[in-house]
Amino acid sequence: MLACGGFESNAEMRTRYLGPTWDLAKVRGTRFNTGAGINMALAIGAKPHGNWSGGHAVGWDMNAPEFGDLEVGDNFQKHSYPLGIMVNANGLRFVDEGADFRNYTYAKYGAVILSQPQQFAWQIFDSKVLDKLRDEYRIKRMTKVRADTIEELAKKLEGVDEQQFLKTIKEWNASVMTEVPFNPAVKDGRGTRGLAVPKSNWANTIDQAPFEAYAVTCGLTFTFGGLKISTEGEVESTDGHPIPGLFAAGELVGGLFYHNYPGGTGLVSGAVLGKLAGDGAGRYVAGKN
């Protein structure tokens, strides 16, 4: 029975399958998911399956450790970006922060951050939304700056083009559709006009002190590529037939997610595939006796 995770903790496999710069990503969880189970199965003819160039990756504190810290847990994540804006090292926005609710974008925006110059971004908020930030923005271990003016904030954003950032903020404030009511509980349609990178919902001017910014990079949760299994949880070979006595469940099963991930479905897939594989293995053993 294989249930030993993907290859997110293996920098060589990340780079080989996910692509350039993925060796620089942080890993949200254990250092031991190195793809060993997948590689053992492939070595005996198992069929690779799914989105091998994809993975679940989020915005993660820029100075978090290389692998997960059980004391901090998930709190290195920074998922309130729909309430603000994100800028890269060039001082430019690069993604629609309000394209959808956090639960439908957070697992793909880590890859977008990783693709930015120097693999980081700053999330920017003003006082209008600070009380709405998620709890992970209140821990002690985080990369955060605070200022009473935008000019002062610009000087504190390490690694960011200061003048371009100020220009970005000026253009941003002029573009916000302030005539549309702000409502973070729904997709409110409060967007922007005239920007190269629009924001579709929850746009607010950034003009009320104090201002806060949080530095994030990519935190990889798990990889999408893995093994092909049958509806009985059996690992299939490259010729399409089950490999006798070999079963798999969890994150090393491929074909479940492609390009994105809706929150909570990993838990569901682990429970469902675990039950399938366990039942299938039980039947196999019973049939051998």
Domain that holds residue 102: 59-219
Q: How far apart are CA 103 and CA 267, in angstroms?
A: 14
Q: With 0-12 CB in 10 A as exposed, 13-18 as middle and 19+ as buried, what is 72?
A: middle
Give me the residues of the chain with pLDDT under 50, please: none
Q: What is the pLDDT of residues 51-106, one digit of tens each?
A: 999 999 999 999 999 999 999 999 999 999 999 999 999 999 999 999 999 999 99
Residue 5 lies in a domain: no
Encoded tokens for 251: 């994150």
> Are 68 and 87 found together in one domain?
yes
pLDDT tens string 4-26? 999 999 999 999 999 999 999 99
**Residue 4 located in a structural domain:** no
pLDDT of 289? 66
Is 6 part of a structural domain of the chain? no
| Those residues with Cβ within 8 angstroms of residue 205's Cβ, 6 or more apart along the chain or in another chain | 126, 172, 173, 176, 178
The pLDDT value given to residue 81: 98
The last residue of a domain, from among 197, 219, 241: 219
> Is the domain of 36 the same as that of 65?
no
Helices (H) and strands (E) in the chain, counts: 6, 10
* pLDDT value of residue 157: 98
Residues 76 and 194 in one domain: yes
With respect to residue 247, please indicate whether it lies within any of the assigned structural domains: yes
Q: Are residues 70 and 156 in the same domain?
A: yes
| Token reading at 12 | 């060589």
pLDDT computed for residue 288 by the predictor = 76
Same domain, 212 and 248: no
